[in-house]
Structure 1
Amino acid sequence: AIDGGYGKIKGTTFRLSNMGDETDETIQNLLDALDDSLTKL
């Protein structure tokens, strides 16, 4: 899940959350995809 932050920093940050058991590999896949996406911006 991705959330737009909260409190004073809402709208300037985002939070990532998982919805169950994650492994180092699945978290790394997420971070790699996020890195790739941000690079394209």
Structure 2
Amino acid sequence: MGGHGHGPPYKIPSYEQFTIKGIPQLEELEKALEKKGLRDPWI
């Protein structure tokens, strides 16, 4: 179960580098949830 010479182990990127800005569907979803007093921490 080791690397077996296939390169360095996979590095998980930071969640902070991803944003919903510029994705209309996700921005609309965020606004719709906001109107209901909700917030989705995953978007």
Q: Check whether TM > 0.5.
A: no
- The answer to which structure has the higher helix fraction is 1
- The answer to which structure has the higher strand fraction is 1
Task: Give TM-score, length-normalised by structure 1.
Answer: 0.36
